[in-house]
Amino acid sequence: MRRDVIRRILWWLAPAWAVAASAYLLLGPTITSVSSSVTLGPDGATSRGEVLRTSTSLLAAQGAAAVLPVLIPVLLAALPLLARSSKVRRVLGVIAALLLAVFCVVGMLSIGLFYVPSVAVLLIVLVLEAMSSDDELSDAAA
């Protein structure tokens, strides 16, 4: 009973993390620009220097084009939730974990690392599912 609850929570945790990471990437201050200005005096010597740092969100900087790249991991992590049976859920979980891992590797230098915890949760729940099916098989054989 308790394992079922843990597995159910973990199946929902992977897409929940992906949604949280996507929301942060879209709405958080993820893009920073730095500019500096120097004011010269009449003799050519520097009289004042100023550094200006501004931060903006990915959505504000790139508009609607930024939504699709952060939506892909959410859809992949939620893929196993579409299944009704545990066997189909496991198959979709393996497919989702593999595709999400590929997404993380390809996007490692930009947004890929934000979704590594979703891959980890999917792998953990798949191992728990495999262990529970082994327990069911050994109980049926006994």
How do residues 68-114 score in pLDDT, each as one tens digit?
999 999 999 999 999 999 899 999 999 999 999 999 999 999 899 99
The set of residues, in sequence order, having a beta carbon less than 8 Å from that of 24 and lying 6+ positions away, is 30, 114
Asked if 129 contacts 15 with a C-beta cutoff of 8 angstroms, the reply is no
pLDDT (tens digit, 9 = 90+) per residue, 6-52? Answer: 889 999 999 999 999 999 999 999 888 888 887 777 776 667 778 88
81-91 burial code (b ≥16 CB/10 A, e <16): eeeeebeebbe
* Contact status, residue 135 vs residue 108, Cβ threshold 8 Å: no
Statement: the pTM of the whole predicted model exceeds 0.85: no
